Structure 1
Amino acid sequence: MNTTSPSFRRCLLALGIAASMSCAWAADTATTAAPPAVKPDVVAANIDTTVKPGDDFFAFANGGWLKSHPIPAAEVQWGIGQVVQDDLYAKLRRISEAAAAQKSAAAGSDEQKVGDFWTTAMDQALADRLGLSPLKGELARIDAVHDVNSALDAAFALQPLGVDVFFDAGVSQDEKASDVMAVHLGQGGLGLPERDYYFNTEQGVAKARVAYVEHLHRMFRLLGTADAAARQSATQVMAFETALAKVSRPLAELRDPEKNYNKMSPADLTGKYTPAIAWNDRLRGWNLQAGRVIVGQPEFFKGLQALLARTPPSVLRDYLRVHLADAYASFLSQDIDNEHFDFYRRVLAGQKEQKPRWKRAINAENMAMGMILGRIYVKDYFPDNSKQRYNAMVEAIRTAYGERIDRLDWMSAATKARAHEKLAAVTKKVGYPDKWKDYSALAIGRESYAQNMMNAQRWAFNDMVSKFGKPVDRAEWEMTPQTYNAYYNPSNNEIVLPAAQFLIPGFADNQIDDAVVYGYVAASTIGHELTHGFDDEGRQFDAKGNLTDWWTAQDAARFKQRADVMVKQFNAYEPLPGLHINGEASLGENIADFGGLMIGLDAFHKTEQFKKGEKIAGYTPLQRFFLGYALGWLSQEREAMLRQSLLSDVHAPAKWRVNGPLSNIPEFYQAFDVKPGQPMWRPETQRVRIW
């Protein structure tokens, strides 16, 4: 489910084609002596014919490609998203190098900022010479911590730098008054990906906990602490974080918007939960004069108060110091960067080696000033006819959804009327923003890589805080155009579809037939995001984006009864021994996958290709639709990355995002002649029937 922050349809990024790729994504080759090679079919070339569709459709549709493309050492997963990303890397590198080569870029111009950022990010020797010195001011502040109040001084200074210690804080729309920007406070402050990493007994998770303590030990050594003291500090920080995790809510519970909406005055938060934190004063230090704040998990703050009161200042110093170092490790000297990579990427995700520095620099550049790059990117790489095609497709999906709502036999007329009101009010944002973000206040120079990232984090924090007390800017985007992803924002009741999301590596937009596009884009992106407005969480927001109950009690009960079938289905999947998919936590995404497919199918039925019924590459239009959907999830991941996603991601792994929803769709059974007894078969009484 997507709130004001993007929820990833894919755990991937942006666009294109890699020269090393073959099969369906091979580039055309030609010589003067031979005609151009025939381009393989966009979906047929990926198929593994040794697998029956009714046994494992994901493996059938994608297995041919996955078998011939093992995960590279510098990747934790490999598939369509990473091939797309490789081309984006190349395009953004050209943009960055061109800016860096300019000798006369005006100070403060986009070209100066991109050029100086790129030059400094690529200077490993400079980073090595500087060592920890870019952090000396913040480290000195932490060294001065001698009690809880001074620890909080340091923590509130670190938050604007993107170091989320003790808790999370932000300014975003009030869930129950979407025209108002509100201060939100919630649980946070953990070094491991999610609270269950501190408690789950599965063998791989247990090993990760041990490795985390060793990582902390080595980081303290790099921060200048003697070995024995560093080991003690690591053990104590782990104990502190484990106690913090213990008072944190599990992942599934964070998806209940009502339970995670607790509005109170800062004084009440101080008096009832955190006497050590004078919230009015602390928020004023961030230029926030907030009469009310929205607290996600009040019991977490009560637990934080108790933990702060009983923790020695030396442990609080160590906790703050190591979180700062880990947050900026990638922008510091090679030894610190390597240590951070070794744990967070090698241990937790299974990545065998670092990406080239230039790719990591582009990732950081996207974080720091993504919309500057995006403005240049769309001018060069996203034509108007593509924007028009997908704007029209959104409307086709909206129409199909409305017709499907009309046909529902479990939803009352009163709720249908409100559902139509909400559907009609959904705003679509396609390709890129109409208004670009103003980065004029962002200072970028050549002092250090880490300094530029600190400047970018401070700028982003100040930009966020500046929205408090002002009208909501509903034109703003939370993703850059060069992002291979999409999201639904319930407070704006909008779907946002970046330009890069529509691309298939090696193919121009006009080279892909409607059947594939309707599966790949209309179902798994547009329909998926639109359905988020009506999933178990999104349905609680009305047409104006306010958290309010607009369903009849009977309809809500019938919806939950149907959703519980999906929860049960996904809870039964066990991708790793002892680790099942969390059906409750992933419910919103699973409903959106299923709903997107059903709506996409309805819209596809109206196309000329479906009506003609002609085969392409041996497959019917209906078969190509489902193959196009599976193409969107063509991906494989390392075991460590799979473990991490099962514990900390609200999305099911790729394979089950294909096989799970398809096992509930009668037209899939018909298209591929799925029979009782095959693994993909479900008796009709056990299939999900929501949309």
Structure 2
Amino acid sequence: MPLTFRRPQQVKAKVLSAIALMIAGTASTTHVYAAETAKAAAPSVLLSGIDSQYGDKSVKAQDDFYRHVNGGWLKTAQIPADRSSAGAFMDLREAVVPRLHTIIEGLSKAKNANGTDAQKISDLYASFMDTKHIESLGLKPLQSDFAKIDAFNDKKQLPALMAWMNLNSINVPYDIQVHQDNKDSTKYVLDISQSGLSLPDRDYYLKDDDAKLKDTREKYLKHIEKMLTMAGDKDAGKNASAILALETELAKIQWTKVELRDPIKAYNKVELSKLNEVTPGYDWDAYLSDLGVKGKIDYLIIGQPSYLTAMNKVLIATPIDTLKAYFKWNLLSSASGQLPKQFSEESFAFFGKILRGVPEQEIRWKRGVRLVDAGMGESLGKMYVDKYFPADSKAKMETLVNNLLLAYKNSVGTLDWMSPETKKEALSKLSTFMPKIGYPNKWKDYTSLQITKGDAVGNLRAIRSFAAKTELNKLGKPVDREEWGMTPQTVNAYYNPEMNEIVFPAAILQAPFFNPKADDAVNYGGIGAVIGHEISHGFDDQGAQYDGLGNLRDWWTKEDHEKFATKTAALVKQYSKFSPVPGYNVNGELTLGENIADNSGISIAYKAYQLSLGGKPAPVINGMTGDQRFFMGFAQVWRGKIREQEAIIRIKTDPHSPGEFRANGALQNMTPFYKAFDLKEGDKMYLPASERVSIW
């Protein structure tokens, strides 16, 4: 994943996404509604919002609903050569890119005063696009950084070097994050978590019995050697082997993705004076001083104490020359996109072609847009909203959100497995949910960010340093509850347990999620299920451990815990049977939180849709009842294809299930779905009522 939104893997302040990267799209999807609108006899004609031409009538709805709705598309759609997947989600994501490009190009043609966001966006993009200048510079822009690493000759210097690399988002054995204290959400805290691997998961280093992962690891070794050779390393082969060996040692001591899901185990408050007990001999005082936070904090939260202790031993045992090679490799890899063509192409050859199965690298102007989006996303987002986000979409979303919250409130009141005591707490938490729709009320200030035209590497360093220092400057200050964790142009949504907030960026408020020209059924099945999904994250196996103020607090009775655990164990069992790639099953434990949210989200969205009808029957459109359109609207959102290599990465790392199982898996637990499509015993999607999991 290129320039990422950097957060630790555990739940602390994590954006719990409704949208899996498992799904993606082709450009055909978003045009369907325009075509349907043109066919309408008058504006008053209700549209179904269903992409009926993409269905496959040869597949019974009762046997495989996902393919019944999407099978025609699945037979003919091709994944673009520069992408690892295709489908409904990626369609919207890709549609945003040329819009952002138009905005950037417009700024580039204007006369922009120095220091303005317009100047910075324009120069950031222009510097990346000036390949002739980048080629002429070669590796000169990295020489001062290489020299800094070469000056490392004593392990007492290691904390200062790690601080510098953390500030510049260069991969090292541990990562940092500023977020709200999980047991006092009124304060910001600094968190330390495991890191340091370049391959997607520890299994890529440790599983010798998996031929695909072993082959990837062997090709990764060759990639490191080639990159170091091009950078002038005369011992590239030896150093590459040492780097892989070091990363393998780190992989051995890291927590698994499933272990990282436990917010209680990941909350380890350590006073600064006692850090030496965790990592004897490691100079945290020097590290925190160089990080610029000394005096602002008196404790840290350590996500994985056993890892940090073992990591310290690994670093002590590792020769300085190996550490130098490891740091140089990560520096080189992190800057490859801003370096001459041979480096960027070799980086793509491994991380794109081999690791993810993508045949062609994305065209450069798109990569330039994504760089600007990652570096100055809110400034770009403000311009995006002004140009592309209709004002009435926000008002309509507010109505939908309110209906979903009401449906959730009503549903909690009718639960037969939850005690009155816990219900009271659940309703209290629900009443404090904070929805954020479209765009932030206040925008990020980029005044201190310095962008220089003609300095691609320096600008990359600048935006990374700016992002890190912006986060670190929060320490000691009041919590900013207006802040957003995604830009408005992001096609996604999230729940943040520490803020107890649900956030829906402007770009997701489009068809097939949200179609203002269609009947309500498809919107409740699309964006309604997304809203319900995000609300449900507040009550999934992780989110339910936080109260309405965003603090880790057990508000459940012992009996309710046991009943909840029984229901979630049944979901783990259900999803663990799904196999998107032969020999690779869905990890029901890793995906549990998202599976709870998918199942609960569609259930609550359905109840909200019923409330929206006000007791009146839903219209029949194109021969489909309201309930049928609701469920079809849900299934078409998950339409997608993915390359095998990318699918394996997602199975190993993604907390979301693959799209087809997000659709079929949730629907097979929905009794109203059975009634809408007359499912009976013997149908392939049929589950006996006793095996259907209904939580919220």
TM-score, normalization by structure 2: 0.94
Distance, in Å, in 2 between the alignment partners of 1:569 and 1:40 is 32
Q: Pick from 267, 273, 286 the counterpart of residue 273 of structure 2.
A: 267
Deviates further, 76-85 or 60-69: 60-69
Residue of structure 1 equivalent to 2:71: 63
Residue of structure 1 equivalent to 2:17: 8
Residue of structure 2 equivalent to 1:287: 292
- Contact 1:487–1:496 (Cα < 8 Å) also in 2: yes
Instruction: Report Cα offsets for 1:215-238 as digits up to 9, x if no partner.
Output: 111111122113xx2122111111
Q: Give the residue type in structure 2 aligned to 1:230.
A: A
- For residue 164 of structure 1, report the CA deviation from its aligned partner: 2.9
Instruction: Report Cα offsets for 1:625-660 as digits up to 9, x if no partner.
Output: 111111221211100010000001111111111111
**1:278 lines up with 2:283 in the alignment:** yes
Residue of structure 1 equivalent to 2:244: 238
Residue of structure 2 equivalent to 1:564: 569
Equivalent residue runs for 1:272-421 within 5 Å: 272-288=277-293, 289=295, 290-421=297-428
**1:573 lines up with 2:562 in the alignment:** no
Residue of structure 2 equivalent to 1:34: none
Q: Give the residue type in structure 1 aligned to 2:267.
A: Y
Residue 525 of structure 2: SS of its match in structure 1? Answer: helix
Deviates further, 278-287 or 462-471: 278-287
Aligned in 2, Cα 1:687/1:21: closer, same or farther, shift over 3 Å?
closer
- For residue 7 of structure 1, report the CA deviation from its aligned partner: 3.0
Residue 187 of structure 2: SS of its match in structure 1? Answer: strand
- For residue 24 of structure 1, report the CA deviation from its aligned partner: 2.7
Instruction: Report Cα offsets for 1:416-439 as digits up to 9, x if no partner.
Output: 000000000000000000011111
Instruction: Report Cα offsets for 1:247-274 as digits up to 9, x if no partner.
Output: 100000101000010001123122x221
- For residue 598 of structure 1, report the CA deviation from its aligned partner: 0.7
Q: Pick from 219, 222, 225 the counterpart of residue 217 of structure 1.
A: 225
Deviates further, 5-14 or 188-197: 5-14
Q: Pick from 599, 606, 613 the counterpart of residue 604 of structure 2.
A: 599
Residue of structure 2 equivalent to 1:123: 130
Deviates further, 602-611 or 552-561: 602-611
- For residue 330 of structure 1, report the CA deviation from its aligned partner: 1.3
Distance, in Å, in 1 between the alignment partners of 2:442 and 2:491 is 20
- Contact 1:267–1:278 (Cα < 8 Å) also in 2: no
Q: Give the residue type in structure 2 aligned to 1:620.
A: T
Distance, in Å, in 2 between the alignment partners of 1:537 and 1:508 is 28
**1:452 lines up with 2:459 in the alignment:** yes
Aligned residues: 678
- For residue 23 of structure 1, report the CA deviation from its aligned partner: 7.3
**1:53 lines up with 2:61 in the alignment:** yes
Distance, in Å, in 2 between the alignment partners of 1:27 and 1:609 is 30
- Contact 1:350–1:639 (Cα < 8 Å) also in 2: yes
Q: Give the residue type in structure 1 aligned to 2:676.
A: A
**1:177 lines up with 2:184 in the alignment:** yes
Gaps of 5+ in 2: 1-9, 39-45
Distance, in Å, in 2 between the alignment partners of 1:25 and 1:655 is 22
Aligned in 2, Cα 1:610/1:245: closer, same or farther, shift over 3 Å?
farther
Distance, in Å, in 1 between the alignment partners of 2:346 and 2:546 is 43
Gaps of 5+ in 1: 31-37
**1:101 lines up with 2:109 in the alignment:** yes
Distance, in Å, in 2 between the alignment partners of 1:335 and 1:395 is 53
- For residue 14 of structure 1, report the CA deviation from its aligned partner: 13
- Contact 2:123–2:451 (Cα < 8 Å) also in 1: yes
- Contact 1:166–1:304 (Cα < 8 Å) also in 2: yes
Distance, in Å, in 2 between the alignment partners of 1:334 and 1:350 is 20
Residue 251 of structure 1: SS of its match in structure 2? Answer: coil
- For residue 10 of structure 1, report the CA deviation from its aligned partner: 2.0
**1:684 lines up with 2:689 in the alignment:** yes
Equivalent residue runs for 1:152-171 within 5 Å: 152-171=159-178
Distance, in Å, in 2 between the alignment partners of 1:47 and 1:619 is 14
- Contact 1:173–1:181 (Cα < 8 Å) also in 2: yes
Q: Aligned Cα RMSD in Å?
A: 2.2
Distance, in Å, in 1 between the alignment partners of 2:522 and 2:559 is 38
Instruction: Report Cα offsets for 1:518-572 as digits up to 9, x if no partner.
Output: 011011x100000000000000000100001111111111111111000111112
Residue of structure 2 equivalent to 1:248: 254
- The runs of at least 4 consecutive aligned structure 1 residues that moved more than 3 Å come to 11-18, 20-23, 25-30, 38-42, 608-611
Distance, in Å, in 2 between the alignment partners of 1:375 and 1:17 is 26
Instruction: Report Cα offsets for 1:98-118 as digits up to 9, x if no partner.
Output: 111112x11111211111112
**1:518 lines up with 2:520 in the alignment:** no
Q: Give the residue type in structure 2 aligned to 1:457.
A: R
Aligned in 2, Cα 1:617/1:285: closer, same or farther, shift over 3 Å?
same
Q: Give the residue type in structure 2 aligned to 1:337.
A: S
- Contact 1:378–1:481 (Cα < 8 Å) also in 2: yes
Q: Pick from 200, 205, 215 the counterpart of residue 207 of structure 1.
A: 215
Aligned in 2, Cα 1:241/1:157: closer, same or farther, shift over 3 Å?
same
- For residue 157 of structure 1, report the CA deviation from its aligned partner: 0.8
- For residue 415 of structure 1, report the CA deviation from its aligned partner: 0.5
Equivalent residue runs for 1:422-437 within 5 Å: 422-437=429-444
Residue 361 of structure 2: SS of its match in structure 1? Answer: coil
Distance, in Å, in 1 between the alignment partners of 2:94 and 2:585 is 32
Q: Give the residue type in structure 2 aligned to 1:10.
A: I
- For residue 149 of structure 1, report the CA deviation from its aligned partner: 2.5
Distance, in Å, in 2 between the alignment partners of 1:206 and 1:674 is 44
Q: Pick from 201, 208, 215 the counterpart of residue 194 of structure 1.
A: 201
Deviates further, 183-192 or 443-452: 443-452
- For residue 21 of structure 1, report the CA deviation from its aligned partner: 6.1
- For residue 610 of structure 1, report the CA deviation from its aligned partner: 8.4
- For residue 508 of structure 1, report the CA deviation from its aligned partner: 8.4
Aligned in 2, Cα 1:108/1:384: closer, same or farther, shift over 3 Å?
same
Aligned in 2, Cα 1:198/1:14: closer, same or farther, shift over 3 Å?
closer
- Contact 1:15–1:501 (Cα < 8 Å) also in 2: no
Q: Pick from 63, 68, 82 the counterpart of residue 74 of structure 1.
A: 82
Q: Pick from 463, 469, 490 the counterpart of residue 462 of structure 1.
A: 469
- Contact 1:23–1:45 (Cα < 8 Å) also in 2: no
Residue 277 of structure 1: SS of its match in structure 2? Answer: coil
Aligned in 2, Cα 1:621/1:638: closer, same or farther, shift over 3 Å?
same
- For residue 15 of structure 1, report the CA deviation from its aligned partner: 12
Q: Pick from 663, 673, 677 the counterpart of residue 678 of structure 2.
A: 673
- Contact 2:23–2:88 (Cα < 8 Å) also in 1: no
Residue 337 of structure 1: SS of its match in structure 2? Answer: helix
Aligned in 2, Cα 1:21/1:589: closer, same or farther, shift over 3 Å?
closer
Distance, in Å, in 2 between the alignment partners of 1:223 and 1:125 is 19
Q: Give the residue type in structure 2 aligned to 1:327.
A: S
Residue 619 of structure 2: SS of its match in structure 1? Answer: coil
Instruction: Report Cα offsets for 1:488-512 as digits up to 9, x if no partner.
Output: 000000001101112116x984212
Residue of structure 2 equivalent to 1:476: 483
Distance, in Å, in 1 between the alignment partners of 2:662 and 2:23 is 20
- Contact 1:148–1:313 (Cα < 8 Å) also in 2: yes
Q: Give the residue type in structure 1 aligned to 2:633.
A: G
Distance, in Å, in 2 between the alignment partners of 1:138 and 1:448 is 15
Instruction: Report Cα offsets for 1:101-140 as digits up to 9, x if no partner.
Output: 112x111112111111121121122222222222222111
- For residue 281 of structure 1, report the CA deviation from its aligned partner: 2.6
Aligned in 2, Cα 1:213/1:573: closer, same or farther, shift over 3 Å?
same
Residue 495 of structure 2: SS of its match in structure 1? Answer: strand
Distance, in Å, in 1 between the alignment partners of 2:340 and 2:16 is 32
**1:532 lines up with 2:537 in the alignment:** yes
Q: Give the residue type in structure 2 aligned to 1:71.
A: I
Q: Pick from 501, 505, 513 the counterpart of residue 494 of structure 1.
A: 501
- For residue 295 of structure 1, report the CA deviation from its aligned partner: 0.4
Residue 682 of structure 1: SS of its match in structure 2? Answer: coil
Residue 269 of structure 2: SS of its match in structure 1? Answer: strand
- For residue 85 of structure 1, report the CA deviation from its aligned partner: 2.1
